[in-house]
Amino acid sequence: MKNCAVFCSGFGSNLQALIAAVNRGRIPARIALVVSDCVDAYALVRAKKAGIPILAVDRSEFKTREDYDAYIIRRLKKQAIDYVILAGYMRIIGPRFVSCYKNKIVNIHPALLPSFKGVHGIKDALAYGVKITGVTVHFVDAELDAGPIILQGAVAVKADDTEDSLARRIHRLEHRLYPEAVRLLVQNKLSVKGRNVLIRR
């Protein structure tokens, strides 16, 4: 069975959705480690409740990002991690990290990439006045929110939406879409051809 590490920085609602999917047998893999750059992230509480080992690492304890990444990579190798699942992880993954896990790191973004990259995808989409936004699951590469797209789902923007109301609907879609993308990943049903991700159902 494949081992996944889920990286989180905050509340961990997508982590909870992944834990539930694993427990139901929907994702045929093991969440072997939860990693956070925030030692007080609620995601770590979720992991502990689920009996999942945790790794909380304060970036400020390392001189450089490269040192930080090197430490994380060593810990992942020690745990025999096959895939890295970013679930609200607010730190950029460095090039060495990406090369070590090429096409084995995935991220979920609360907008329809390539639109509204960065940490304020929901806020930026609402401010721009789009009528449709959504969720993107993509492979992680050296550029921010730019890796090949695995799955996308659309969410209609209502005239009276606030950032909070739109976020709630986007998060509900994330909790359905991300487990499906991770299932495809761990079952080796994804192949990358340039910018295209081919899915074998």
Pairing of strands 2-8, 83-86: parallel
Entry pTM = 0.96
Range of the domain at 158: 2-199
Beta-bridge partners for 3: 30
What single-letter DSSP state applies at residue 58? Answer: -
pLDDT (tens digit per residue) in 112-169:
999 999 999 999 999 999 999 999 999 999 899 999 999 999 999 999 999 999 999 9
DSSP class of residue 89 equals -
Query: What is the CATH classification number for the domain harbouring 116?
Result: 3.40.50.170
Total domains in the chain come to 1
Kindly give, in sequence order, each residue whose CB lies less than 8 Å from that of residue 178, ignoring residues fewer than 6 positions away: 14, 17, 18, 87, 108, 137
Residue 201 pLDDT: 81
Structure tokens at 54: 């945790």
pLDDT of residue 38: 94
Q: What is the dihedral of CA 112, 117, 122, 127, to 10 degrees?
A: -100
**CA torsion sign, 138 to 140 to 144 to 147?**
negative
For the question of residue 138 being annotated catalytic, the response is no
Instruction: Tell whether omega for the bond before 114 is within 30 degrees of 0, i.e. cis.
Output: yes
What is the spatial distance between Cα 75 and Cα 70, in angstroms, rounded to a whole number?
Answer: 9
Q: What is the mean pLDDT of residues 182-199?
A: 97
Amino acid at 84: V
Looking at 29-38, 61-70, 109-118, 170-179, which range is the least confident one? 61-70
Token pair listed for 158? 């209502």
- Mean pLDDT (whole number) for 167-178: 98
